[in-house]
Amino acid sequence: NAFHFTATFRVLGRAKQWRQTLRLLKKMEESSDPEMCPDVTTYTAAISACASSGRFSEAQAILRGMEKRVTPNVFTFTTAISACQQGAEWVTALQLLEKMVGIGVSPNVITLNAAITACGRCGKNGEALKLLEMMEGTYGVEPDVYSFNAAISACAKAGDWKKALELLGELEAHPTIQPDAYSMFGSIQACGDAGMVNRALGLLERMTSPDSLIPPNVDCYNAALSACTKGGHWRKAMGLLAQMKRQGVERDVYSYSSAMSACEKAGRSGEALELLARMRADGVAPNVVSFSAAISACGQQGEWQRALEVMDDMVESGVDPDMISLSSLIDVLERSNKSDLADSVYRRASGFGIFRAMWKNGEMTLDLHHTPSRVARVAVRAALTDFKTKAREPIDLLIITGRGKHSVGGVSVLPGAVRSFLREFAGPKATMTNNPGSLKLKKRSIEDWLLTVWSQEHGYVHDDKMRQSIKFPR
pLDDT tens, residue by residue, 310-324: 999 999 999 999 999
Q: Are strands 397-400 and 365-367 parallel, antiparallel or unpaired?
A: parallel
State residue 34's pLDDT score. Answer: 83
SS3 371: coil
- Amino acid letter, residue 245: K
Res 292 pLDDT > 70: yes
243 by Cβ neighbours in 10 Å (0-12 / 13-18 / 19+) ranks as middle
b/e for 140-169, b at 16 or more Cβ within 10 A?
A: ebebbbbbbbbbbbbbbbbebbebbbebbe
Please check the confidence at residue 185 and state whether its pLDDT lies above 90. Answer: yes
Instruction: Using the predicted structure, report yes or no on whether residue 86 has a pLDDT greater than 80.
Output: no
| 3-class state of residue 172 by DSSP | helix
pLDDT at 464: 56
For residue 406, is pLDDT > 90? no
404 falls in which pLDDT band (50, 70, 90)? very low
CB 364 within 8 A of CB 398: yes
pLDDT digits 0-9 by tens, 28-60: 888 888 888 888 999 999 999 998 888 888 988
Q: Map residue 287 onto helix, strand or coil.
A: coil
pLDDT classification of 85: cutoffs 50, 70, 90: confident
**Contacts with 236 (C-beta within 8 Å, 6 or more apart), sequence order:** 197, 201, 228, 262
**Which residues are within 8 A (CB) of 192 and not within 5 positions of it... i.e. 6 or more apart?**
200, 223, 224, 226, 227, 230
pLDDT value of position 414: 80
378 touches 346 (CB < 8 A): yes
Task: Determine whether domain 358-474 maps to CATH 3.30.1370.110.
Answer: yes
Per-residue pLDDT tens digits for 362-378: 889 999 888 888 899 99
Distance (Å, whole) CA 368 – CA 30: 53
The residues with which 292 forms a beta bridge, in sequence order, are none
Percent of the chain with pLDDT over 70: 94
**Nearest Cα to Cα of residue 64 among 48, 49, 35, 43:** 43
Which pLDDT belongs to residue 315?
A: 94
Which three-class secondary structure string do you get for 230-285?
HHCCHHHHHHHHHHHHHHCCCCCHHHHHHHHHHHHHCCCHHHHHHHHHHHHHCCCC
Predicted confidence (pLDDT) per residue in 414-455, tens digit: 888 888 888 888 889 888 888 878 889 999 999 999 988 888
- Helices marked H in 336-470 — which ranges? 339-351, 373-388, 414-424, 443-458, 464-469
Q: Distance between CA 425 and CA 321 in Å, rounded?
A: 29
Please check whether residue 87 is in contact with residue 56, taking contact to mean a CB–CB distance below 8 angstroms.
Answer: yes
